[in-house]
Amino acid sequence: MNRATPAPPLRTLTLLRIQWIAWGLMLAGAALALGRATLIDDEVPFITRADTGEWITSPWRPTADLIAVLPESPPSFTFVRRFESTQPSNETLLRGRALRTLELEINGRKIEVAPANGDNWKQGFEIDVGRWLRPGRNELRATVRNVHGPPLLALSLSGPGTEALSTGRDWTVVGPRGSPRPAVFAQDSQIHPESRQVPPAWRVAQTHGPALFGLFVVSAGLAWGIMGRAPEGVRRHAPTITLFFVSTVWAVLYFYKAVRMPLPLGFDAHAHLAYIDYLVQEGKPPTADYGFSTYHPPAFHTLVALASRITGVSPASEWAAGVYRLIPMASGWTTVWLTGRAARRLWPKEALRPAVAIAVAGLLPMNLYMSTYISNESLHATWVSASLVLATELILAPAWVWRRSLLLGVTLGLGLLTKFTSLALAPLVAGLASSRLWIVDRQPIHRVLAAGGGLMLVAASIAGWFYVRNWILFGDPVVWNLDVPGKPTWWMLPGFRSADSYLRFGESLSYPFFSGFVSFWDGIYSTLWADGLVAGMIRVSTRHSFWRYDFMTLIPALALPATAAMFGGFFSFLIESFRNPDPRRKLILSLLTSVIFVLSFSLFFITLRLPFYAQAKAPYVLAGTLPLALCCAQGLGVAKRCVERVAGRAGLVVLWGWAGTLVAVVVLAFAS
């Protein structure tokens, strides 16, 4: 430990300028990335409206299936429209865009559209086609091929003496099966029929109305009693009591349900099990071209394989579920414990907000269900949470503690060796943690760079070999199952994005399952507060029986105030990070808010690049459980003060009555 007396911290005005510049750069970078992705980048299938006609496509049955495609021979879809021309003119213009490659024919004659490989498709084309027209009946055929999604076409034709036309339902499309069908307008927002297999939330609320009212009355009564008569010791130990309650729920979930669930249950569980089986049999990680999920870094799968070898439990054993699910369940619970540790550091003299943070992390549905499935998400969330706690303690320490910084480098490296998401988080955490040397201790900038570089060097020494191996084998350090050389690729509906799916919300409040077909926000919300993708199954009718889906349907609507508290807490932290004069607290709050921003933007951006309904999935930001729980606790703390000021004790009883009802419904949905 460096015991030298630190110099006074940087002046508040200087810190404010640094903060404004940093957030300005992040927001500007995000805006530029979004603008380029939606308007310029041809690799991002985001469509916009223009004067080239409406976008049309071939009819697709709503499905959650993967659609496999051979990159060298994607299926062809030919759109056909017949039209009349009385006196063709050389001023007849055909304008259009196609996703992705396009071949045009007019009256059987091919018309060259450059470039032929579909590059620059967002800019479209304009061709004078008058020379190929003839008086009377004409036929326009447009053949579209798309490796990564459905074929999309937008055309318009106009000129003197020729019938004006644009793409619409009066076109026909001929697919690989050869039978012509009417084209349909391209829509990335639609209702999946499977979502109606479960009764809506309002009908479930009617059915369970007396039980819900009873839960509210009991919760409100407990709140009234605790506020009036609870001993001071009980209030002071509220975080410990809450952790004990949450731990009991997790123990019930593991011993009563997780150990009985079939091993293949969960998102891509078969693929993760194949990964683990390869490690058990071969003693080394497979390469990305071996299986569907073998592109993942190997830390999680290696730990499960070691547990299998040490215990001698194979996937066929009756004990397999308990052994294979031990790592994700222990990881999910550890994230809850780490959240409590971080909350106590953030609010050292309080009990309420740390208790709320523990309850949120421990009862957040996405943490509960993801921890019961065989996946690397929960372990990755634990490494990130541990990194945030260590960074917080480094920032709060009287001086830089080198042993703790070494441990931080290790957790960052283990995060990189568990999931690619850490590539965005590790430099951020390392940079903000090491910046305390400059901001608080007034060390020279080269010491700061050395400390941050040292953290990343430790992380790279743990995880770097995996990325180097990918680079050597595939020419890409982060190759994954969409772009493995020599292998088929795949896509899922809708296969493209427009503004429609980002401007809607509400389906998940009534029909949470598969609501991601309707909008991005419904997909995120339904998987944050419910198992909205039904454990990765392709239809609701085959859902497993370990959750109470009737109670789960109620959670998204009940959780609206909690979601508002998360948003409110985030902005409260953000404002406090600018206003609080303590540089240590500024750094911690900046760390929490920037991690949430980076994770949220990454998830938003990836749904543009990979426009599949299952990409709008909250567990992709499971690593943000700790900061999200702290934000919710902060927001509810602010709400408590506002309610108490406006409505007094009666208002607080209603507030905690709602919170108790939400907690009870979550427990009933997952652990009953």
Best CA proximity match to 590, nearest among 156, 23, 208, 34: 23
Query: Would you place residue 406 in the very low, low, confident or very high pLDDT band (cuts 50, 70, 90)?
Result: very high
User: What sign for the dihedral angle of Cα 342, 344, 348, 350?
Assistant: positive
pLDDT of residue 1: 41
Question: What is the DSSP secondary-structure string of 439-462?
Answer: HTS---HHHHHHHHHHHHHHHHHH
User: What sign for the dihedral angle of Cα 602, 605, 607, 610?
Assistant: negative
Provide the pairing of β-strand 152-158 with 76-85: unpaired
User: What sign for the dihedral angle of Cα 447, 453, 457, 463?
Assistant: positive
Q: Which domains does the chain have, with CATH numbers?
A: 56-187 (2.60.120.260), 201-261+325-476+508-671 (no CATH)
Residues facing residue 57 across a β-bridge:
152, 184
Residues ≥6 apart with Cβ < 8 Å to 31: none
User: What sign for the dihedral angle of Cα 6, 11, 12, 14?
Assistant: negative
**Does the structure show a pLDDT above 90 at 85?**
no
In angstroms, the CA 525 to CA 562 distance is 12
Map tokens 């007849």 to a residue.
Answer: 92
pLDDT digits (tens, 9 = 90+) for 225-234: 887 666 666 6
In angstroms, the CA 479 to CA 490 distance is 15
Q: End-to-end distance of the chain based on CA atoms, in angstroms?
A: 49
**Does the structure show a pLDDT above 90 at 574?**
yes
Query: Would you place residue 352 in the very low, low, confident or very high pLDDT band (cuts 50, 70, 90)?
Result: very high
DSSP state of 255: I
Contact 58, 508 (CB under 8 A): no
pLDDT of residue 64: 78
The alpha carbon of residue 432 and the mean position of all alpha carbons in its chain are separated, in whole angstroms, by 24
Question: What is the DSSP secondary-structure string of 509-577?
Answer: HH--TTGGGT-HHHHHHHHHSS-TTGGG-S-GGG--SSS-HHHHHHHHHHTHHHHHHHHHHHHHHHHHH
pLDDT of residue 49: 82
DSSP state of 76: E
In angstroms, the CA 1 to CA 54 distance is 66
| Span 313-335, average pLDDT | 95
pLDDT digits (tens, 9 = 90+) for 337-351: 999 999 999 999 999
pLDDT digits (tens, 9 = 90+) for 577-628: 999 989 999 999 999 999 999 999 999 999 999 999 889 999 999 999 999 9
> Is 112 buried (19+), middle (13-18) or exposed (0-12) by CB count in 10 A?
exposed
In angstroms, the CA 576 to CA 587 distance is 11
Which three-class secondary structure string do you get for 627-652?
HHHHHHHHHHHHHHHHHHHHHHHHHH
> What is the H or E stretch that residue 42 is in?
none
User: What sign for the dihedral angle of Cα 202, 204, 205, 207?
Assistant: positive
**Does the structure show a pLDDT above 70 at 3?**
no
Contact 132, 109 (CB under 8 A): yes
Q: CA-CA-CA-CA torsion for 560, 566, 567, 572, nearest 10 degrees? A: 140
Best CA proximity match to 19, nearest among 430, 581, 449, 569: 581
pLDDT digits (tens, 9 = 90+) for 438-449: 998 888 999 999
Residues facing residue 181 across a β-bridge:
173
**Does the structure show a pLDDT above 60 at 8?**
no
| Span 289-302, average pLDDT | 94
| Span 245-255, average pLDDT | 96
pLDDT of residue 6: 54
In angstroms, the CA 559 to CA 188 distance is 26
Best CA proximity match to 257, nearest among 381, 371, 377: 371
Q: What percent of the chain has pLDDT over 70?
A: 97
Map tokens 């200087």 to a residue.
Answer: 14
Burial 223-256 (b: 16+ CB within 10 A, else e): bbeeeeeeeeeeeeebbeebbebbeebbeebbee
- Tell me how far CA of residue 179 lies from CA of 58, 102, 150, 175, 558, in angstroms: 12, 20, 17, 7, 48
